[in-house]
Amino acid sequence: MDEEPRIDPLTPEQRRYTMSQVHSKDTKPEMRVRRLAHHLGYRYRLHRKDLPGKPDLVFPGRRKIIFVHGCFWHGHDCRAGRKQPKTNREYWIRKIQRNQERDIENQARLRAAGWDVLVIWECETKDVESLADKLTAFLDDGSKASQ
């Protein structure tokens, strides 16, 4: 059953402004992870442009990288990630699929270069205790961690 496309209730100027407020770095989930990692005693670099995907947190001495992904923007399998856009649906579905493909490619390139990679989803940043355990296990462990 195909739904008819919904008309965007916002004017193009309003939509442009709304989308301009969406940031790719220094997001609330990223800031939660950064503050907690720092509080736990880990020091890191931010958004290294010389690495695939410009990782959110880079721990050079440990050869570890953390990406903090927004559930909607990267298509996580949680409530927010499964949410379907109501307008311009085809565009957004393709956009999220491209984000997922790019994420897989960037992570593979990083692993091939000898980096351990951890993805933390926006929904995982709300439980601070669990997040602290995940960070500690990843950063203190010599083995590889994954999504």
Domains in the chain and their CATH numbers? 24-41+66-147 (3.40.960.10)
The residue among 2 and 126 whose pLDDT is bigger is 126
The Cα 6–Cα 12 span in angstroms is 15
Alpha-carbon dihedral 110, 128, 24, 46, rounded to 10 degrees: -50
Looking at residue 89, what is its pLDDT? Answer: 86
Q: Which residue has the higher pLDDT, 51 or 6?
A: 51
**pLDDT at res. 87:** 80
Cβ-based neighbour number of residue 15 at 10 Å:
14
3-state secondary structure of 41: coil
142 pLDDT band (50/70/90 cuts)?
Answer: low
pLDDT at 92 over 50: yes
For the stretch 27-83, pLDDT in tens is: 899 999 999 999 999 999 999 999 999 999 999 999 999 999 999 989 999 988 888
Q: How confident is the model at residue 147 (pLDDT cuts 50, 70, 90)?
A: very low
Task: Specify the pLDDT at position 16.
Answer: 66
Q: What is the per-residue DSSP string for 66-129?
A: EEEE-TTTTT-SSHHHHPPPSBSHHHHHHHHHHHHHHHHHHHHHHHHTT-EEEEEEGGGGG-HH
